[in-house]
Structure 1
């Protein structure tokens, strides 16, 4: 298990005065303009000593002296990398730019198409027609209720912002909005166009004019803010996974894990499922949670998965318990058991495929 790291709010310290010695494995120099003309400098560094990683930032004063701020200290390279990316995105959002490019160490960069889609998203966050956005949101609430679907499945907030900013007036224009394909346009396009085409607009399609209308410095800062949000989520997920693995190994059940992590049982189960997909064993938790479930009932659920597949829970629930089943514990209790057994079922199916693939 990785060495526990310091909390997300990292304390600053004077590394040289503390007498810490380590091998520097990476360093980059950054600068930004302060005020009208003054350029200020900083260094970003990664060091290692006896399996302990340290990550820090050094701002240089006018006299050339610098003070190190320790961002991370611990034994996990992956966690250190998440902290590195998040904190660097914060600094670049503040205007710092690196001497060496590729500082985020990502496998894939933005393509031209992705860049333009993000530009449209940025513009829509600045200039959306709020009245149209509210009308589209009201449409989504009503449609989600009538179709018994989650609102985000119909249209994300991002998509509603785009629609309320660029105000398409035809299906051809609608299809130029990122996130809208032929199927979506056919299904909901008439409803959207009834709202957007009725509003006056200042610009036409195609949307190539957005590039010239965008302030490049502001757009760059916004891009780094998106990275900051993305990397913070990755870091939070990594730390949640570590907490779950430690808790499961320590014999904690779902309710205890809920109290420890502060998240709901449904989200916990989703995280546990992801851990299993990533190759970690969660069998200890499954055994603990299913200890009071009769073996015959577990076998009935297993057989239902074998017959109906494991993609959807409701058909399996109806197969095992009947369509009119109700219980004082609530149905969530039974669905949790279905999900735990599904983890086992999927693991066995994957093992079978792995064995077959070896022949």
Structure 2
């Protein structure tokens, strides 16, 4: 095997002891390998093969995720610039990220649980999704910095004038009742946050980002292979360990990117009566493709409640919506599924 890339990484375990390892990429007869080898004599069991296969793009995805994970543990490379796209932030964004980091480390858990309870009650009363009222990140910030006034509340990232006016008194009733050691403004946070700990936290965030990108890449490859092999949605869901809805959402993304998924559309829509398909397509053209429920009501009626539930019908709507969206794309040809049913 020919080694084409190697980098040494080190981290301090304490003030006197240093751990080190080598990250390597090799190639042999079209097969790529990516691995991690400990340089410490007593840790040879830590030698790992992270990837072996023929896809350079997948290797890069694994490389980014695994390297970010190790840097999140404190390892630093001797050769810098290990990521192709280094994230840089404006000073204000970096300050807000440090506030978020601090809140995850030092949030008052009792206050956080009270805020979560408030959000559940409010979302139920207003019939809104909880995240529309306040994200977990915002509740952590509130429970860490414990604002007592409207002015202080507005200094929390994620709280604007509208949110403060609507929910401020209720939030302050919870956060203002708790004791706090430090007050506002929050410019003291940057000095309290250790640079190395903050860097590790940032790399862990990057690891999660790369993990999701790698999962999407593998899912896309699995779906394209399944479509080529004649698989339906049920088989694609089983092979990829996804739900049927996740598969359909991935198919919508593939269509937006220009991949040909007509064979799958034809197979899945073949059992649907022609008149029903035309009615759904007409409703999307008239009402737009943003929302599914208005189309469902127009085609099947307001009180439509089939014995097996609505999941099957929403699947049909999503698949037929792909056809209409393609029609609305400049230069796009009509789907064979639309004309062949």
Q: TM-score, normalised by structure 1?
A: 0.84
Structure 1 residue 174: Cα displacement: 2.1
Name the counterpart of 1:220.
199
SS at match of 2:329: helix
Structure 1 residue 228: Cα displacement: 2.0
* C-alpha distance after superposition, 1:111-162 (max 9, x if no partner): 3333222211111111111121111111111222222222222221111111
* C-alpha distance after superposition, 1:161-212 (max 9, x if no partner): 1111111223332222222233333343333223222322222112111122
Query: Which residues in structure 2 correspond to 1:155-174 (within 5 Å)?
Result: 155-174=134-153
Structure 1 residue 335: Cα displacement: 0.9
Query: Which residues in structure 2 correspond to 1:231-270 (within 5 Å)?
Result: 231-270=210-249
Q: Is the 8 A contact 1:32 1:40 kept in 2?
A: yes
Name the counterpart of 1:138.
117
SS at match of 2:282: helix
Structure 1 residue 334: Cα displacement: 0.7
Query: Which residues in structure 2 correspond to 1:88-237 (within 5 Å)?
Result: 88-106=67-85, 108-237=87-216
Structure 1 residue 84: Cα displacement: 0.6
Structure 1 residue 62: Cα displacement: 6.0
Is 1:70 the equivalent of 2:49?
A: yes
Q: Is the 8 A contact 1:60 1:66 kept in 2?
A: no
Name the counterpart of 1:357.
none
Is 1:305 the equivalent of 2:304?
A: no
Name the counterpart of 2:320.
341
Name the counterpart of 2:338.
none
SS at match of 1:184: helix
Q: 1:82 aligns with which of 41, 45, 61?
A: 61
Q: Is the 8 A contact 2:34 2:59 kept in 1?
A: yes
Structure 1 residue 48: Cα displacement: 3.8
Name the counterpart of 2:337.
none
Structure 1 residue 69: Cα displacement: 3.5
Structure 1 residue 336: Cα displacement: 0.9
Q: Structure 2 regions of 5+ residues with no counterpart? A: 334-341
Partner Cα separation in structure 2 for residue 157 and residue 40 of structure 1: 36
* C-alpha distance after superposition, 1:74-112 (max 9, x if no partner): 222221111111111121122211122221222543333
* C-alpha distance after superposition, 1:223-280 (max 9, x if no partner): 2222222222222222222222222222222222222222222222222222222222
Q: 2:16 aligns with which of 30, 37, 55?
A: 37
Compared CA separation, residues 346 and 193, structure 1 to 2 (3 A): same
SS at match of 1:102: coil
Q: Is the 8 A contact 2:326 2:332 kept in 1?
A: no
Structure 1 residue 341: Cα displacement: 0.8
Compared CA separation, residues 55 and 109, structure 1 to 2 (3 A): farther
Query: Which residues in structure 2 correspond to 1:285-296 (within 5 Å)?
Result: 285-296=264-275
SS at match of 1:27: strand
Partner Cα separation in structure 2 for residue 178 and residue 284 of structure 1: 47
Structure 1 residue 344: Cα displacement: 1.5
Name the counterpart of 2:336.
none
Structure 1 residue 283: Cα displacement: 2.1
SS at match of 1:350: coil
Is 1:28 the equivalent of 2:1?
A: no
Partner Cα separation in structure 2 for residue 281 and residue 221 of structure 1: 41
Q: Is the 8 A contact 1:60 1:67 kept in 2?
A: no
Structure 1 residue 348: Cα displacement: 1.9
Q: TM-score, normalised by structure 2?
A: 0.88
Structure 1 residue 330: Cα displacement: 0.9
Number of residue pairs matched by the alignment: 332
